[in-house]
Amino acid sequence: MNAPLQPADLKPALTLLIAAPRGFCAGVDRAIEIVERALEKYGAPVYVRHEIVHNRYVVEALKAKGAIFVEELDEVPDDMPVVFSAHGVPKAVPAEAERRKLLYVDATCPLVSKVHRQAERLIEKQRHILFIGHSGHPEVIGTMGQVAEGEMTLVESVEDIATLPFSMQDELSYLTQTTLSVDDTAEIIAALKARFPQIQGPKAEDICYATSNRQAAVKRIAPASDLVLVIGSPNSSNSLRLVEVAERLGANSRLIQRADEIEPEWLEGVGTLGLTAGASAPEILVREVVERIAQWRTINEQTIQAAEEKMVFKLPRQLTDPD
């Protein structure tokens, strides 16, 4: 039940700390634009394998423009264009598309593609890869699908390391999912190095700039916040990590998808509210949340900046080159 609206002068004051950066990253911007450009170039419908990004609002908006979302290629008719999601796909997927002569556009985030190329190079050097990530996540499925079965082992936690069937004589390397907790990943890497001193890592960390920056921004707002709201989907890894970061700093934190999920009782006893959005959540959802909270509280809005982002990724040539 919604609380009745009050005159502005009777609404309790609320300090609202909005994290920056927040919301869309360059990889998400690129993936959405790829679907929109594909619709312009090829006409509707355009099929998309898996959610292009993990956000219901974005997916529904693209559906309204003519995108059809499917889980597997066998749901795509032979003469229809298909886009692969930003999370990346196993090598078998484009191979199947080529076998069927499907017109496909790969919207894999370039930072995920970089990890795929690293994996290929390590296997060429006959090194076994320990991949730090979350089982079942599309990015993990896509990355592990770049190499043959048995050439990469998934590590989800520090506890997993004790059970790994390797010795100090094995040629080992590690890579990571791009949307992990910065702090958790550092702990896992330290534990891997302690058990396998010979292990080699990438020259630069695989956790992407956007994930790191959004976690850093939450670390700036959480200590001063009585409650932190994170806008994102339950299947969005980077959004879930933002909730965890806030909670570790002592702030009560909730993951929400839309403003209408917020109940007025959540704000009882809250003088300072932190707000951020995962990398798949558009800014319009942030403003929607601010407007809903303004029904009950007089807001003093402050933006807390942790980093500036100017990253832009190029679109695939097939969508930019003239026919």
Distances from the Cα of 41 to the Cα of 7, 29, 46, 252, 321, angstroms: 51, 18, 10, 46, 11
Q: Is the pLDDT of residue 1 over 90?
A: no
Gyration radius of the chain over CA positions: 22
Q: Kindly state the percentage of the chain with pLDDT values over 70.
A: 97
Report the catalytic residues: 139
The reported pTM is: 0.93
Residues in the chain: 323
Cα angle vertex 204, ends 150, 105, to 5°? 65
Measured between alpha carbons, how far is 91 from 94 in angstroms, rounded to an integer? 6
Residue 3 pLDDT > 90: no
CATH fold, domain 118-195, is Cobalt-precorrin-4 Transmethylase; domain 1 (3.40.1010)
Q: Boundaries of CATH 3.40.1010.20 in the chain?
A: 12-24+209-305, 118-195
Confidence of residue 164 (pLDDT cuts 50, 70, 90): very high
Token digits of residue 72? 């597997």
Gap between the Cα atoms of 315 and 320, Å rounded: 7
Using an 8 Å Cβ cutoff, are 107 and 83 in contact?
A: yes
| Architecture in CATH of 26-110 | 3-Layer(aba) Sandwich (3.40)
323 contacts: CB under 8 Å, gap ≥ 6: none
The answer to whether residue 129 scores a pLDDT higher than 90 is yes
Per-residue pLDDT, 323: 66
What is the reported pLDDT for 322? 74
Average pLDDT score over residue span 77-105: 96
pLDDT digits (tens, 9 = 90+) for 18-46: 999 999 999 999 999 999 999 999 999 99
Query: Which range has the worst mean pLDDT, 3-12, 151-160, 258-267?
Result: 3-12
What pLDDT is attached to residue 131? 98
**C-alpha to C-alpha distance for 312 and 319, rounded to whole angstroms:** 16
Residue 252 DSSP class: E
What is the CB neighbour count within 10 angstroms for residue 69? 18
7 pLDDT higher than 80: no
Measured CA distances, 287 to 300, 301, 302 (Å): 14, 11, 13
CA distance linking residue 79 with residue 72, whole number of Å: 16
Q: What is the pLDDT of residues 184-219, one digit of tens each?
A: 999 999 999 999 999 999 988 899 999 999 999 999
Residues 304-315, mean pLDDT to the nearest whole number:
96
Contact between residue 280 and residue 28 where contact means Cβ atoms under 8 Å apart: yes
Tens-digit pLDDT profile for residues 224-275:
999 999 999 999 999 999 999 999 999 999 999 999 999 999 999 999 999 9
Q: Is the pLDDT of residue 9 over 60?
A: no
pLDDT digits (tens, 9 = 90+) for 166-188: 999 999 999 999 999 999 999 99
How far is it, in rounded angstroms, from Cα 113 to Cα 295?
Answer: 44
The CATH number that domain 12-24+209-305 falls under is 3.40.1010.20
Asked if 39 and 67 count as a contact pair (C-beta separation under 8 A), the reply is yes
Predicted local confidence at residue 321, as pLDDT: 80
Positive or negative, the CA dihedral 181, 234, 69, 38 is negative
